[in-house]
Amino acid sequence: MTVAVDTKYDLQSKIEEIVGEYGAKSTALIMILQDVQKHYRYLPEEALRAVAKTMKLPLAQIYGVATFYRAFTLKPKGRNHICVCTGTACHVRQAVVIVDKLERDLGITPGETTADGEVSLETVNCLGACALGPLVTANGIYYGNMTVTKVERMLSEVLHKKHDSDTTEEAA
Amino acid sequence: MSTNRLLSQAELVALKERLEKNRNANKTVVTVCAGTGCMACGCDAVLKTFHEEREKDRLENEVEIKATGCHGFCERGPLVVVHPLGVFYQRVKSADAKLIWEQTVNGGHLVNKLLYRDPQSNQIITKEKDIPFYKKQMRIIFGKNGFMDPTAINDYILLGGYLALATALTKMTPEQIIGDIKKSGLRGRGGGGFPTGKKWATCRAVKVDPKYVICNADEGDPGAFMDRSLLEGNPHQVIEGMMIGAYAIGSHEGFVYVRNEYPLAVKNLTIAIKAARDYGLLGENILGTGFNFDIETSRGGGAFVCGESTALMASLEGKVGEPRAKYIHTVESGLWDKPSNLNNVETWANVPLIIERGADWFASIGTENSKGTKVFALTGRVNNTGLVEVPMGITLREILYDIGGGVPRGKRFKAVQTGGPSGGTLIVEVAEPKIHASMVAHGDIRDEDEAVSLLDLPIDFDELTRAGSMMGSGGMIVMDEDSCMVDVARYFIHFLTEEGCGKCVPCREGLVVMLNILRKISEGKGTIEDIEYLEELSQVIIDTSLCQLGGSAPNPVLSTIRYFRQEYLAHVIDKRCPAGVCKDLVSHVIDNTCNGCHACLKSCPTNAIVGEPKRLHYIIQDKCIQCGACYQICRYNSIKRIKRGEGDKLQERARELWQPPLKKVPAEVA
Ligand SMILES: Cc1cc2nc3c(=O)[nH]c(=O)nc-3n(C[C@H](O)[C@H](O)[C@H](O)COP(=O)(O)O)c2cc1C
Ligand code: SF4
Ligand code: SF4
Ligand code: SF4
Ligand code: FES
Ligand code: FES
């Protein structure tokens, strides 16, 4: 299930709205792309073209930035977003055991999305809550001091909640 | 909101006095830490409960509830402090908040079960400052954090905020300010330790307009979070520092480059900038002095290399974050080729304190060449994790034992890593000469003299560099016997191969070669020549890389080889990982101390563990994939990670117990 990109007209106006918040200055490019990604859950090609057009910047620069920074993805992400911190503090507290566990349970490796488009798995280099490592976030919610058993609980919470967000999204 | 504008220093002082007069020192204030750490532990629910209770009791006028920034002791979060009593509660859940409300706020009694209990002495401690974690700290940069709501500019002003700015603008010339910063001995906290006053002076001397001041809040060192905590908990102090710097240098425009992974820091900073503008503290004609200055925030894209000064400026310009050669310094030609003065968050936060209390005061703290305090993020395998602000020159021993409280679960200290991916790993163990039997057998004993002296190493810029590491941004990651030094080196090199920008060959290609060798060693396929080659290659990469990412990348490898050569040799010669981390070299086994709690069995993904409750358990060696899940779960240290292939030697008794019936049950049935 891919994320439906709005029709061309909607997309253009959405991009204009995002760009308008910051102004079409190049210092804001990264933030603009972050917001675009937040909206579409990835950076669709059409959106990048629209950003280039609106900001009057070369498409090559936009692509350069979109592929350079780790935070950006050109592929659609899943509905739920699970992110394991593999920063040093979490690493020495055996974050790798947690990554392995999620890989096994979800059947994907970091950077991938499950075939049904439900869950994306990712790793990050530190979320600044190192005292609670190993740390995992699921849809922005922090889960600290993770163990393999807690991963199971978290997954069932996340996949359970999915239904609520499904209905609200469809209603909207 | 131009009516809010403070038109002069006198108006700022008057506002502070008004706030002081309106404050009732006896009023009960419940402060709840709302930093990222406590947020992750559910402080939202705690705050909500307090608000509900207050509403129910109609005490809105009598009791103030304040959401503060990080107190540093995130591991014990959510934290609650009830003033004016100053009672410190930790690990407070929302149900506990109700209890605190009833007992302490309404009744004036303590809630014992939420107080801090010192694990060493088993004593109950009621006040924050008496807790060993805080006792040896010197919290000056963080001094205001626990007392103010970071989103309320009046809280900051009440605590004396922006008075240093007023002094700087009205009573000091730019040269005097730079003179004071030089005299204070302040050195950059972003890693390099460059003297801040000198940097400012160079930037001021360049006769080009406009000039920029920039705050580096990229904090790419994984495991460091002091910049996050400062920006979240006290953004105004950073803003004030930048303003003073801008005035000294002659700049009118500032940028803060923050990681996008720190949403709360971005939010609180944005609120703070807006509030400062409303008061006319940012904008035109600040405090009626004719000085103009404003700040913009920019969110980074999550690339470690963007913490490097030239890459950061490229990224700010909306470009790919690639460093450039620094034969022209950024203070002369940086952002849009204009003179740009970049300092770290913590560096900026020191500035108002130096102006307020004087350069001599600042210079009286610390060591000969490293003045003031430094915030460390003490993490990893240590009992008290959190942010620790200490005077320069304090010893590692004091940080690790007195403040950190030692290693959990009775394990042994092994090493501490400072300076992040560019830093080094220092040996600290053997302080207690309790040496693993297996280590003696395999000859892993290290040079004790060197080890002991490092534990008493005074921590400052120069001493750390001399020891083969560096200060870096202040990450201090503690490792115990379960950490393998080859694995740590591999981890950092892997990190840097992913995070390097790829612009120059030594870093791009050299690090990959190093990574492959380290992988080989951790798989038991390395040779002694590989270790020598690593050292050689390291030198080439250090000498020829374009930026300091590559230039310091081999540090973790060199320092681990320097202090832990025996451990490398164990991998290479004995095909053994003494710490039991390198998967290809270990077997997971259960020894006879197992009490049969059954917890591990459920965690095993391959059903390799057999056993019944209350009986000795057994790991079927052929089925085990060495995932480590059981090791993490077992609370009785009964699971051991030993040399590959020697598994059943330790499990003899268990095998006798479980092997025969196992043969009757084919694997498919389970
Ligand atoms: C690869 C690399 C990453 C860096 N990351 C950071 C960082 O995250 N935060 C920071 O303040 N400085 C970082 N620095 C140091 C900066 O380049 C710069 O020296 C510093 O921000 C200057 O501020 P200071 O003088 O106040 O320390 C990094 C340097 C390198 C080479
Ligand atoms: S050393 Fe590495 S990060 Fe620095 S410029 Fe070269 S490739 Fe890029
Ligand atoms: S290491 Fe993993 S696979 Fe092996 S016994 Fe333990 S849980 Fe099972
Ligand atoms: S968790 Fe430890 S004590 Fe419990 S059954 Fe497993 S090995 Fe034995
Ligand atoms: S290393 Fe995981 S949160 Fe910092
Ligand atoms: S976030 Fe609460 S103590 Fe650090």
Instruction: Please write the tens of the pLDDT for every residue from B201-228.
Output: 999 999 999 999 999 999 988 889 999 9
pLDDT of residue B467: 81
Taking contacts as CB-CB distances below 8 angstroms, the residues of chain A near B302 are 69-71, 124-125
**Pairs of residues, one from chain A and one from chain B, whose beta carbons lie less than 8 Å apart:** 171
pLDDT of residue A140: 87
- Given a contact cutoff of 8 angstroms between Cβ atoms, the answer to whether B293 and B251 are in contact is yes
Q: Determine what percent of chain A falls in helix, strand and coil, rounding each to the nearest 5.
A: 55, 10, 35
Numbered ranges of CATH 3.30.70.20 in chain B:
583-664
Residue A3 lies in a domain: no
pLDDT of residue B198: 97
The CATH number of the structural domain formed by B153-363 is 3.40.50.11540
Q: Is B398 exposed, middle or buried (0-12, 13-18, 19+ CB in 10 A)?
A: middle
Q: Is B303 on the interface with A (CB under 8 A)?
A: yes
Residue A157 lies in a domain: yes
Q: In this complex, do B479 and A128 lie within 8 Å of one another by their Cβ atoms? A: no
Nearest ligand, CA B79: 6
- Do A91 and A46 share a structural domain? no
Instruction: Please write the tens of the pLDDT for every residue from A102-120.
Output: 999 999 999 999 999 999 9
pLDDT of residue A7: 59
Q: In this complex, do B477 and A88 lie within 8 Å of one another by their Cβ atoms? A: yes
Residue A75 lies in a domain: no
Q: Is the pLDDT of residue B442 over 70?
A: no
Instruction: Please write the tens of the pLDDT for every residue from B10-30.
Output: 999 999 999 999 988 889 999
Report the C-alpha gap between B586 and B588 in whole angstroms: 7
Cα–Cα separations (whole angstroms), residue B350 to B164, B170, B354: 11, 20, 6
Instruction: Please write the tens of the pLDDT for every residue from B386-408.
Output: 999 999 999 998 999 999 998 88
Mean pLDDT of chain B: 90
Average pLDDT, integer, range B266-270: 96
Report the C-alpha gap between B362 and B359 in whole angstroms: 5
Q: Is B28 on the interface with A (CB under 8 A)?
A: no
Interface test with B, best of A18, A36, A68 (most B CBs within 10 A): A68
pLDDT of residue B122: 87
Q: Is the pLDDT of residue A121 over 90?
A: yes
- A98/chain B closest Cα distance in angstroms: 8
Ligand 2 atom 8 nearest Cα: B501
- Given a contact cutoff of 8 angstroms between Cβ atoms, the answer to whether B380 and B478 are in contact is yes
Q: Is the pLDDT of residue B586 over 90?
A: yes
For chain B, give the number of residues: 670
Q: Is the pLDDT of residue A163 over 60?
A: no
Q: Which two tokens stand for residue B563?
A: 């202090």
The CATH number of the structural domain formed by B583-664 is 3.30.70.20
Q: Is B269 on the interface with A (CB under 8 A)?
A: no
Instruction: Please write the tens of the pLDDT for every residue from B624-663.
Output: 999 999 998 999 989 999 999 887 778 888 888 777 554 5
Taking contacts as CB-CB distances below 8 angstroms, the residues of chain A near B604 are none
Who has greater pLDDT, A162 or B379?
A: B379
Percentage of chain A lying above the pLDDT 90 cut: 64
Nearest ligand, CA B545: 2
Please tell me the pTM assigned to this model.
0.91
- Do A86 and A38 share a structural domain? no
- Given a contact cutoff of 8 angstroms between Cβ atoms, the answer to whether B31 and B83 are in contact is yes
pLDDT of residue B511: 97
- Do A122 and A99 share a structural domain? yes
- Do A160 and A89 share a structural domain? yes
Numbered ranges of CATH 3.40.50.11540 in chain B:
153-363
pLDDT of residue B25: 82
pLDDT of residue A169: 36
Q: Does the beta carbon of B599 lie inside 6 Å of ligand 4?
A: yes
Residue A61 lies in a domain: yes
Q: Does the beta carbon of B603 lie inside 6 Å of ligand 4?
A: no
Check residue B290 and give left, alpha or beta (phi > 0: left; psi -120 to 50: alpha). Answer: left
pLDDT of residue A9: 64
pLDDT of residue B655: 81
- Rounded to the nearest whole angstrom, what is the distance from the C-alpha of residue B589 to the centroid of ligand 3? 9
- A25/chain B closest Cα distance in angstroms: 8
- A85/chain B closest Cα distance in angstroms: 9
Q: Is the pLDDT of residue B50 over 90?
A: yes
- Rounded to the nearest whole angstrom, what is the distance from the C-alpha of residue B53 to the centroid of ligand 6? 23
Nearest ligand, CA B551: 2
Report the C-alpha gap between B341 and B196 in whole angstroms: 10
- Do A159 and A101 share a structural domain? yes
- Rounded to the nearest whole angstrom, what is the distance from the C-alpha of residue B472 to the centroid of ligand 1? 8
- Do A140 and A85 share a structural domain? yes
pLDDT of residue B670: 41
Instruction: Pick the residue from chain A with its C-alpha nearest to B320.
Output: A65
Q: Is the pLDDT of residue B324 over 60?
A: yes
Average pLDDT, integer, range B442-456: 52
Q: Is the pLDDT of residue A24 over 70?
A: yes
- Rounded to the nearest whole angstrom, what is the distance from the C-alpha of residue B507 to the centroid of ligand 2? 6
Quote the distance between the C-alpha of residue B474 and its chain's center. 6
pLDDT of residue B466: 85
Q: Does the beta carbon of B35 lie inside 6 Å of ligand 6?
A: yes
pLDDT of residue B491: 94
pLDDT of residue B429: 55
Residue A109 lies in a domain: yes
Mean pLDDT of chain A: 86
Q: Is the pLDDT of residue B421 over 50?
A: yes
Domain that holds residue A47: 8-68
Nearest ligand, CA B508: 2
CATH number, domain of A85, equals 3.40.30.10
- Rounded to the nearest whole angstrom, what is the distance from the C-alpha of residue A153 to the centroid of ligand 3? 20
Q: In this complex, do B627 and A71 lie within 8 Å of one another by their Cβ atoms? A: no
Ligand 6 atom 3 nearest Cα: B74
Q: Is the pLDDT of residue B441 over 80?
A: no
Which CATH number, 3.10.20.600, 3.30.565.10, 3.40.50.10320, 3.40.50.920, labels domain B373-572? 3.10.20.600
- Rounded to the nearest whole angstrom, what is the distance from the C-alpha of residue B635 to the centroid of ligand 3? 15
- A172/chain B closest Cα distance in angstroms: 26
Pocket test for ligand 2, best of B547, B548, B555 (most atoms within 8 A of CB): B547
Numbered ranges of CATH 3.40.30.10 in chain B:
26-128
- Do A99 and A59 share a structural domain? no
How many angstroms separate the most distant Cα atoms in chain A? 51
Report which of B161, B226, B164 is spatially closest to residue B189, judged by C-alpha positions. Answer: B226
| Count of Cβ atoms closer than 10 Å to residue B1 Cβ | 10
Question: Torsions phi, psi of B609, nearest 5?
Answer: -100, 135
Numbered ranges of CATH 3.10.20.600 in chain B:
373-572
pLDDT of residue B177: 98
Residue A88 lies in a domain: yes
Who has greater pLDDT, B3 or A28?
A: A28
- Do A84 and A42 share a structural domain? no
Report the C-alpha gap between A65 and A62 in whole angstroms: 5
- Rounded to the nearest whole angstrom, what is the distance from the C-alpha of residue B608 to the centroid of ligand 3? 6
Instruction: Pick the residue from chain A with its C-alpha nearest to B601.
Output: A149
> Domain end: A68, A97, A117, which one?
A68
Q: Is the pLDDT of residue B173 over 60?
A: yes
Ligand 3 atom 2 nearest Cα: B627
Which range has the worst mean pLDDT, B52-66, B463-477, B561-575? B463-477
DSSP string, B288-331: TTTEEEEEEEEE--S-GGGGSHHHHHHHHTTS-------SS-TT
ipTM computed for the complex: 0.85
Confidence band of A5 (pLDDT split at 50, 70, 90): low
Nearest ligand, CA B593: 4
Pocket test for ligand 6, best of B32, B44, B79, B142 (most atoms within 8 A of CB): B79
Confidence band of B664 (pLDDT split at 50, 70, 90): very low
- A169/chain B closest Cα distance in angstroms: 24
Q: Does the beta carbon of A90 lie inside 6 Å of ligand 5?
A: yes
CB-nearest to B223 from A57, A72, A126 is A126
Taking contacts as CB-CB distances below 8 angstroms, the residues of chain B near A87 are 222-223
Angle between helix axes A95-106 and A148-171 (nearest 10 degrees) is 50
Quote the distance between the C-alpha of residue B175 and its chain's center. 34
- Rounded to the nearest whole angstrom, what is the distance from the C-alpha of residue B15 to the centroid of ligand 3? 64
Quote the distance between the C-alpha of residue B618 and its chain's center. 39
Q: Supply the DSSP symbol for B82.
A: E
- Do A98 and A61 share a structural domain? no
- Do A48 and A107 share a structural domain? no
- Do A129 and A49 share a structural domain? no
Protein fold of B26-128: Glutaredoxin (3.40.30)
- Number of domains chain A is built from: 2
Q: In this complex, do B381 and A92 lie within 8 Å of one another by their Cβ atoms? A: yes
- Do A161 and A96 share a structural domain? yes
- B383/chain A closest Cα distance in angstroms: 10
Report the C-alpha gap between B412 and B445 in whole angstroms: 14
Instruction: Please write the tens of the pLDDT for every residue from A139-154.
Output: 989 999 999 989 999 9
**Close Cβ partners of B466 (under 8 Å, ≥ 6 residues apart):** none
Q: Is the pLDDT of residue B290 over 60?
A: yes
Q: In this complex, do B260 and A71 lie within 8 Å of one another by their Cβ atoms? A: yes
Confidence band of A6 (pLDDT split at 50, 70, 90): low
Q: Is the pLDDT of residue B443 over 50?
A: no
> Domain end: A68, A98, A118, which one?
A68
